[in-house]
């Protein structure tokens, strides 16, 4: 039931985003109701994709933490774990939007070296993931429990994985730009 509610919230957010885009004249008047519906569906699909990928990663990392370190994370069913992952991903996405603007703004104003920027991004992402996990666990709407230092371990591995992927992607993108400039 909570996954269905989550999808309805995403649909509502998509409608609000579409309405804001129409009011600010970013999107022109669609040629018909079907085009407007498809644009809302595209926004909904994009939001769902942005939340489902981290949810899947969080679920896999949760299973990996249980496999490597023992039963730190207990859950009734795989659906409970997926619901937990969806809620955590939703909170992380919400807070990450603010942190990206603040973090990138501060690092560009103070001209931090790249290595310090990545360290700060890791620390901020770890804090956001950790607090989101704690928040979802304290809501007590799903049957997932994390024992002892499991939240620290889980949030560390999730943050490390995403920052690592971001670092590799940035280096790959920079290498492609350098080869295109020299060609």
Half-sphere CA count of 160, side-chain side, radius 13 A: 7
Answer whether residue 106 shows pLDDT above 80: no
Residue 29 vs residue 10, higher pLDDT: 10
Residue 1: inside a domain? no
Domain-located, residue 41 = no
Which residues are within 8 A (CB) of 21 and not within 5 positions of it... i.e. 6 or more apart? 27
Rounded percentage of the chain residues whose pLDDT exceeds 70 = 96
pLDDT (0 to 100) of residue 183: 60
Q: How far is CA 115 from CA 59, 122, 180, in A?
A: 29, 11, 24
Please report how many Cα atoms fall inside a 13 Å half-sphere around the Cα of residue 56, on the Cβ side: 5
- Please indicate, yes or no, if residue 40 is contained in any of the structural domains: no
For range 26-42, the mean pLDDT: 80
3-state SS, residue 117 = helix
Domain span including residue 64: 54-182
What per-residue confidence (pLDDT) applies to 2?
Answer: 63
Domain count across the chain: 1
pLDDT reading at 1 higher than 60? no
């Amino acid at each position: 039931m909570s996954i269905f509610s989550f999808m309805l919230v995403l649909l509502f957010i998509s409608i609000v985003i579409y309405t804001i885009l129409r009011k600010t004249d970013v999107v022109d008047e669609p040629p018909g109701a079907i085009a407007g519906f498809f644009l809302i569906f595209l926004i909904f699909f994009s939001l769902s994709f942005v939340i489902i990928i981290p949810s899947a990663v969080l679920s896999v990392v949760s299973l990996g933490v249980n496999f490597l370190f023992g039963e730190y994370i207990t859950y009734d069913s795989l659906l409970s774990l997926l619901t937990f992952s969806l809620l955590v991903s939703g909170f992380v996405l919400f807070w990450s939007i603010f942190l990206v603007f603040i973090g990138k703004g501060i690092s560009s104003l103070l001209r931090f070296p790249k290595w310090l920027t990545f360290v700060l991004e890791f620390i901020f992402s770890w804090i956001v993931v950790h607090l989101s996990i704690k928040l979802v666990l304290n809501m007590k709407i799903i049957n997932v429990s994390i024992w002892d230092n499991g939240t620290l371990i889980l949030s560390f591995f999730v943050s490390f994985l995403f920052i690592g992927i971001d670092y590799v992607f940035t280096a790959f993108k920079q290498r492609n730009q350098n080869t295109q400039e020299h060609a």
